[in-house]
Amino acid sequence: MKATAKQLPVVLTIAGSDSGGGAGIQADLKTFAALDVFGTSAIACVTAQNPTKVARVYSIEPRMVAEQITMVCSAFSVAAVKTGMLYAEPIIRAVAQCISQYRIPNLVVDPVMMSTTRDQLLRPDSVSVLCWELITKAVVVTPNLVEAEVLFGKPIPSLEAAREAARDIAERFKTACVVKGGHLKAGVRSQESGVSKKKGKSAVSHVVDVLYWKGKIHEFKCPRVETTETHGTGCTYSAALTAFLAKGKPLPKAVEEAQKYVYNALKNSVSVGKHQVMGW
């Protein structure tokens, strides 16, 4: 009797390689596998890094990045694609051209600019090209607070400012925008949900991710996981969002499920060497 192969949606990540295994291509592929989609990849950069430092970045030749995408698209029907660390203008242009050429649907742009250790992951002179050549092709862009401030052009000190930034970025680049709230220390206090303070201390704050989509603001809230190790959370979030879009979920639901996935990954962190890493 002939076995019937399980049909999985195919997703593509175009990003940098993290030698430490916690972010970039490595985190994306782990996330894709955990969410039961078939992950493919095009490596845009190679980094020498671990959870505490990026020692060196080496850019892949744009033609080689494009050829990786070509080979994936010639063999598979790609349901969704995400971009992560692209680093330089020639790579961004090559990726944007391939997205258009192969008409890859459901582009999620994670505008990776700086690591959690404050290492530069996008050349400053490449921000404009990222915005106008790639973000304008996306169904959604997923900046963290620092990246959103660069795209917005203003500080984002509050939830209200995050709403304004999500709207401005989305409308300016003709896409949807999720401003991730993990770095917003003002947060949302759990007493707003009816949980009282104990022994005079503030209740645990929540993370609020703000989505602006089709003229409306959507907000997604989850408890903040108290941890000092957040390496790879942005990559994992955008990879999960890409996987859920590939499975046919509407954007707001995909954002909600991506937030839950990262929350659970942080909550179930495991000890590896000297570090706590997310549990996939």
Give residue-wise pLDDT tens across range 198-217: 443 444 488 999 999 999 99
**Residue 202: what pLDDT?**
41
Spatial separation of the C-alpha atoms in residues 67 and 58, rounded to whole Å: 18
Of 35-44, 189-198, 213-222, the least confident = 189-198
Mean pLDDT of 238-263: 97
Query: 111 in a domain, yes or no?
Result: yes
**Residue 116: what pLDDT?**
64
Query: 178 in a domain, yes or no?
Result: yes
DSSP 167-186: HHHHHHHTSEEEE--TT-TT
User: Percent of the chain having pLDDT more than 90?
Assistant: 70
DSSP letter for 197, please: P
Query: 279 in a domain, yes or no?
Result: no
Query: 1 in a domain, yes or no?
Result: no
Q: Using the predicted structure, report yes or no on whether residue 280 has a pLDDT greater than 80.
A: no
Name which residue leads in pLDDT, 268 or 91. 91
Q: Using the predicted structure, report yes or no on whether residue 73 has a pLDDT greater than 90.
A: yes
Place of tokens 């660069």: 150
Which residues are annotated as catalytic? 180, 230, 232-235
Task: Print the SS3 string covering 232-252.
Answer: CHHHHHHHHHHHHHHCCCCHH
Range of the domain at 143: 10-193+203-267
Give the domain CATH number at 58.
Answer: 3.40.1190.20
Mean pLDDT in the chain? Answer: 88
Confidence of residue 52 (pLDDT cuts 50, 70, 90): confident
Confidence of residue 3 (pLDDT cuts 50, 70, 90): low
Query: 2 in a domain, yes or no?
Result: no
Give residue-wise pLDDT tens across range 230-248: 677 899 999 999 999 999 9
Number of domains making up the chain = 1
Mean pLDDT of 127-152: 96
Give residue-wise pLDDT tens across range 110-124: 999 976 666 678 888
Token pair of 16 as six digits: 């940098």
Of 21-30, 101-110, 189-198, 227-236, the least confident = 189-198
Query: 280 in a domain, yes or no?
Result: no
Instruction: Return all residues near 234 (Cβ < 8 A) that are at least 6 apart.
Output: 23, 110, 112, 142, 144, 180
What is the pTM assigned to this prediction? 0.88
Q: Using the predicted structure, report yes or no on whether residue 228 has a pLDDT greater than 80.
A: no
Query: 5 in a domain, yes or no?
Result: no
Q: Using the predicted structure, report yes or no on whether residue 188 has a pLDDT greater than 70.
A: no
Query: 275 in a domain, yes or no?
Result: no
Spatial separation of the C-alpha atoms in residues 225 and 234, rounded to whole Å: 15
Name which residue leads in pLDDT, 183 or 253. 253
